[in-house]
Amino acid sequence: MRREPLQITTSGTPLTQVEADVLAVLVVEPGRLTPAGAALDASLDGRLAHLLADGELKATTGSVGLVHTRGELGAHRIAAVGVGSEDAIDADALRTAAARVAARIGEIGGGTIAWVIGDGLALPLVEQGRAVVDGTVLATYDPGAWKTHGERRAPLTQLILCGPEAASVAEEAEWAGVVADWTNRCRDLVDMPANELTPTRLAETAAEIAASVPHLRCEILGPEEIRGAGMGALAAVAQGSATEPRLIVLEYDPPGARDDLRLGLVGKAITFDTGGISLKPSARMEEMKSDMAGGAAVVTGIAAIAALGLPIRAIAVVPATENMPGGRAYRPGDILTALNGKTIEITNTDAEGRLVLADALVDARRRGATHIVDLATLTGAVVIALGDFYAGLMGNDEGWLGEIEAAAAASGDHAWRLPLHETYARYIKSIYADMKNSSDLRQAGSIYAARFLQEFAGEGPWAHLDIAGTGYLERSRGDYYTAKGATGYGVRLLAALAERLVR
């Protein structure tokens, strides 16, 4: 569902004169204001200090107290928002605080939020600005687009970052707003049910996005072209479904980009994963509409990179299909030939993500990707290992993995390394073919999958992000800038990665 983007500005106006529906200040442990809030409270006869003393305003991360001004300030209200202990304030805490304020103001009825940044915090000003923008924009996401009645939240119209130095981060704040907006568009796609978001519809969306952003080009392959090109793994997964597969390719080729580097983005887009003949249990199977979260992140991530006009060449390859059982479905025991000629014995049709990615990785290399990162809701095992906050990160190149880790940390799309030692190569051995797609060893399932992908990643640097736990939440994380459902994981990471590479 499309929203008007939030207007993001900066202002050096004295805080007492800032005009807004609400001006947000921080409450830190043990229940005290930061310097900006304390200075404002002087104009409010110390009412904030009284409320703190009475325990009505709290430092607990995300707690919000609203206090009306009586014409003493330009702002109509103060939001005093808890962020925990001052020396532990990081971007995650600020995102949560900003999201809480945005949600409260949304309930009241929209308008303008002013946020004080700077204010003696150790966190660099630019990171404060980005976190406040992220938290505010992500909090406006509404998953209830299919409700025919019930209240629509009144939209926020403007976010003003305030403080003497705020203007120095104006450009970064505006960029963060663009990226957060694409993150919400990613969430739209991931939350969309599989009867609406078919591979065809995803391809159409990618084409529309390409037409709306400069220097972005879209190419779509249908079933005959997929089969004809030799993508036997993607074709096999797709053959059980009545809806056609698509291979979606987006190329971003801006003028002035260096030509020794072409970023390759590969994303798994299983629009619904039933498991196929190796059928999944029915409990919570509806969540498998989100098995295209990697593909959605890649489509909207390259769009964000292009919308920012970053001077970097990039190519996105997204294999999109359903994984269904049926009379035409691929079977356990089948042996497939992938695009690079390698053969795969199928031992579990539910290990389909690695199959569609195999062909897409080879295709991305052939199209000239020098540095590849793939995103995929690939294994339940990564949810067991890392839960819902860190994606699993594996790859073949230390330097490249370092870049991904840095982008992950900077963006708030967190990632944690898992080892990819050569000894794991024995896991994927098959008696009949070059490899098999799963094993009955209940060991290191996420590493197994990554080691399988490595067979198709080609020569250059490649990194794999297993986002099964982070792309779509089974339940809220309590951080307020995400909720149960789609998170848009990867969009902010990919934009941060591209920014690092052009710096």
Q: Residue 308 is which amino acid?
A: L
**In whole angstroms, how close is the CB of 276 to ligand BES at the nearest point?**
9
**In whole angstroms, how close is the CB of 270 to Zn ion at the nearest point?**
5
Residue 65 buriedness (CB in 10 A; 0-12 / 13-18 / 19+): middle
User: Does the footprint of Mn ion cover residue 499 (CB under 5 A)?
Assistant: no
User: Does the footprint of Zn ion cover residue 21 (CB under 5 A)?
Assistant: no
Please answer whether residues 320 and 287 qualify as being in contact, where contact means their C-beta atoms are separated by less than 8 angstroms. Answer: no
Query: Is 280 annotated as catalytic?
Result: yes
Nearer to Zn ion, 117 or 270 (CB): 270
User: Does the footprint of Zn ion cover residue 276 (CB under 5 A)?
Assistant: no
User: Does the footprint of Zn ion cover residue 353 (CB under 5 A)?
Assistant: yes
Q: What angle do CA 304, 307, 312 make, to 5 degrees?
A: 80
Active-site option among 201, 262, 313, 354:
354
Which of ligand BES, Mn ion, Zn ion, none interacts with 16 (beta carbon under 5 to 8 A by kind)? none
Q: What is the dihedral of CA 102, 108, 114, 119, to 10 degrees?
A: -70
CA atoms within 13 A on the CB side of 143: 17
Instruction: Indicate the angle between helix axes 353-366 and 445-454, nearest 10 degrees.
Output: 30
**In whole angstroms, how close is the CB of 350 to Mn ion at the nearest point?**
4
Nearer to ligand BES, 271 or 377 (CB): 377
Residue 30: asked if its preceding bond is cis (omega within 30°), the reply is yes
User: Does the footprint of Mn ion cover residue 374 (CB under 5 A)?
Assistant: no
Nearer to ligand BES, 129 or 445 (CB): 445
User: Does the footprint of ligand BES cover residue 332 (CB under 6 A)?
Assistant: no
User: Does the footprint of Mn ion cover residue 322 (CB under 5 A)?
Assistant: no
List the structure tokens of 327. Answer: 């009379």
**In whole angstroms, how close is the CB of 412 to ligand BES at the nearest point?**
21
Cα gap 423→280, rounded to integer Å: 30
User: Does the footprint of Zn ion cover residue 267 (CB under 5 A)?
Assistant: no
User: Does the footprint of Mn ion cover residue 273 (CB under 5 A)?
Assistant: yes
User: Does the footprint of Mn ion cover residue 466 (CB under 5 A)?
Assistant: no
DSSP structure string for 151-220 = PPPPPEEEEEEESTTGGGGHHHHHHHHHHHHHHHHHHHHHHS-TTTS-HHHHHHHHHHHHHHSTTEEEEE
Cα gap 79→400, rounded to integer Å: 42
Q: Choose which of 136, 438, 482, 487 interacts with ligand BES (CB under 6 A).
A: 438
Site for ligand BES in 464-483 (CB under 6 A): 468
Q: Choose which of 142, 350, 403, 455 interacts with Mn ion (CB under 5 A).
A: 350
Q: Choose which of 34, 128, 377, 411 interacts with ligand BES (CB under 6 A).
A: 377
Q: Residue 34 is which amino acid?
A: T
User: Does the footprint of ligand BES cover residue 460 (CB under 6 A)?
Assistant: no
Query: Is 268 annotated as catalytic?
Result: no
Please answer whether residues 393 and 415 qualify as being in contact, where contact means their C-beta atoms are separated by less than 8 angstroms. Answer: yes
| Residues involved in catalysis | 280, 354
Provide the binding-site residues for Mn ion, judged by CB under 5 A: 273, 350, 352
Provide the binding-site residues for Zn ion, judged by CB under 5 A: 270, 273, 291, 353
Provide the binding-site residues for ligand BES, judged by CB under 6 A: 273, 291, 348, 350-353, 377-381, 383, 438, 445, 468
